[in-house]
Amino acid sequence: MLASHLPTIRSQFHFVIVNGENAAGGFGLNRESFDAITRAGADCVTLGNHAWHHKEVFSLLDDRRVVRPVNLPIGTPGSGFQTFDVKGDSGALERITVVNALGRVFMEATHNPFLTMDELLSRDDLGSVFLDFHAEATSEKAAMGQYLAGRVAGVVGTHTHVATADTRLLRGGTAFQTDAGFTGPMDSVIGADPEGPILRFTTEMHSRFTVKDGPAELNGVIMHIEDGRAEFVERYHHEERA
Q: Is 53 in the site for Fe ion (CB under 5 A)?
A: no
Distances in whole angstroms, Cα of residue 186 to Cα of each of 6, 81, 135, 233: 17, 31, 21, 24
Active site residue 50: yes
The residue type at 47: L
Q: Which are the contacts of 22, defined by CB distance < 8 A and separation ≥ 6?
A: 28, 48, 50, 161, 182, 184, 191
Per the CB < 8 A criterion, the answer to whether 172 and 229 are in contact is yes
Q: How far is the CB of 110 from Fe ion (least distance, A)?
A: 13
**Binding-site member from 30, 49, 116, 177 for Fe ion (CB under 5 A):** 49
**Binding-site member from 20, 28, 41, 48 for Fe ion (CB under 5 A):** 48
Stretch 132-161 residues interacting with Fe ion (CB under 5 A): 159
Q: How far is the CB of 171 from Fe ion (least distance, A)?
A: 29
Q: How far is the CB of 122 from Fe ion (least distance, A)?
A: 28
Burial (CB count <10 Å: 0-12, 13-18, 19+), residue 209: buried
Report the candidate in 145, 147, 186 with the shortest Cα–Cα distance to residue 166.
145
Catalytic residue among 14, 50, 161, 206: 50
Q: Which is nearer to Fe ion, 49 or 128 (CB)?
A: 49
Q: Which is nearer to Fe ion, 127 or 191 (CB)?
A: 191
Catalytic residues, which ones?
50
Q: State the residues that interact with Fe ion by CB under 5 A.
A: 48-49, 159
